[in-house]
Amino acid sequence: MKLQHLDKKRLILVDLDGTALVKGGMGMHPKTVEVLKKAEKDGHRVCIVTGRPHRASIRFYRELGLSSLLTNFDGAHIHDPLKRMFKRMVLPISYETVTGVINDPIIKESVDNILIENYNRAVVMKKDSFLENFFHLDDVEDDEYFIADPYEVWAGPSTNVVLTLKSPELKDNVLRRLEAFKNTIKVQTGTVYGHLDDENRSMITLTNKLVNKGFVSNILAQYYNKDIRDVIAFGDQMNDYDMIQLVGYGVAMKNGNDDLKAVASGITHETNDQGGVGFFLEKLLAGEEV
């Protein structure tokens, strides 16, 4: 993989968990920070595109010194946290659909816990350290987080609904019931936003059907006047698939999903823990074969 037209200023899209962040998701490798900061200084535009909510990504945005748009919930929330010159885009699940899902009798009987989020608000049915850590609910900054009965307190649309089940055997029945909402929601199962090795939860995540990182890549390229064929993107999991497949230079992490690697233009030589984004991007922008 080699970059063409080195004189062009690039749009660089970067996932967080498993990509820019090291294992555990608490920080970035120094090499990744160094190279992304240098790219910005050299006139390239870096954008974070993550499944995380705003509250769990803004500190990395600030650490990199970014002034670009920030994308959360895989594209359900796009905003300008610094200059506020871009009208916030929120692509939610309607309130009618949210209530329809959680009130379905089979689903209601099968769930152990429910998390409902909008871009700046989260409600969890009962305290759960797994959900708090996985969705960074304790990283609240200017956000509201409640432990309360969603059947009583939730009102309005949602960017993210998470169902954890009482047992894995119930998953098929829940998925069958969710078929009734297939025109409006996208259903994902498992740890779609990264890896947590110490937990094995039967978890179902629901987002707006239109939301994906490919959709966001087009919006960001248009906003920054970049040809999508000139855009560079880094990701590691299947929620990065549309983005990596769409852009001209889609790079999968060495530690990433094999199906993602199959559609990527390149694969980093180092993992996220080893600064894979930084080392690969440095060589790519220098015009080297990587």
Helix (H, G, I), strand (E, B) or coil at 169: helix
Quick one: 217 and 86 in the same domain?
yes
- pLDDT in the model for residue 202: 84
Q: How far apart are CA 269 and CA 247, in angstroms?
A: 20
Average per-residue pLDDT for the chain: 91
Tell me the residue range of the domain where 219 lies: 11-90+211-286
Examine the pLDDT at 184 and tell me if it is beyond 80.
yes
> How many domains are there within the chain?
2
pTM of the full predicted structure?
0.89
- Residue 92: name the closest of 131, 72, 114, 119 by CA: 119
User: Which range scores top for mean pLDDT: 24-33, 115-124, 246-255?
Assistant: 246-255
DSSP secondary structure letter of residue 17: I
What is the CATH classification number for the domain harbouring 115? 3.30.1240.10
Tokens encoding 98 = 């949210």
Sheet holding 70-72, edge to edge: 70-72, 77-79, 89-90
Quick one: 175 and 74 in the same domain?
no
Task: Write the DSSP assignment of 94-126 as a string of letters.
Answer: PHHHHHHHHH-HHHHHHEEEEEEEETTEEEESS
**Is the Cβ–Cβ distance between 239 and 74 less than 8 Å?**
yes
Residues 6+ apart with CB under 8 A from 133: 196
Q: What are phi and psi of 79, to 5 degrees?
A: -155, 170
Span 52-100, pLDDT tens digits: 888 889 999 999 999 999 999 999 999 999 988 999 999 999 999 999 9
Quick one: 280 and 251 in the same domain?
yes
Quick one: 151 and 222 in the same domain?
no
Tokens encoding 114 = 């429910």
Tokens encoding 106 = 């089979």
Span 4-28, pLDDT tens digits: 899 999 999 999 999 999 998 889 9
Opening angle at CA 81, ends 84 and 226, nearest 5: 80
Domain finish residue from 158, 191, 208: 208
Q: How far apart are CA 95 and CA 264, in angstroms?
A: 37
What is the CATH classification number for the domain harbouring 233? 3.40.50.1000
Query: Side chain identity at 49, as an amino acid letter?
Result: V
Answer yes or no: is 3 within a domain. no
Mean pLDDT for 206-218 is 95
> Within 10 Å of residue 29's Cβ, how many Cβ atoms?
21
Quick one: 104 and 183 in the same domain?
yes
- pLDDT in the model for residue 232: 98
Q: How far apart are CA 39 and CA 198, in angstroms?
A: 35
Quick one: 142 and 247 in the same domain?
no
51 against 20, higher pLDDT? 20
Quick one: 83 and 227 in the same domain?
yes
Please name every residue paired with 111 in a beta bridge, in sequence order, or none if there are none.
165
Answer yes or no: is 4 within a domain. no
Tokens encoding 118 = 């909008």
Quick one: 192 and 107 in the same domain?
yes
Q: How far apart are CA 173 and CA 231, in angstroms?
A: 41
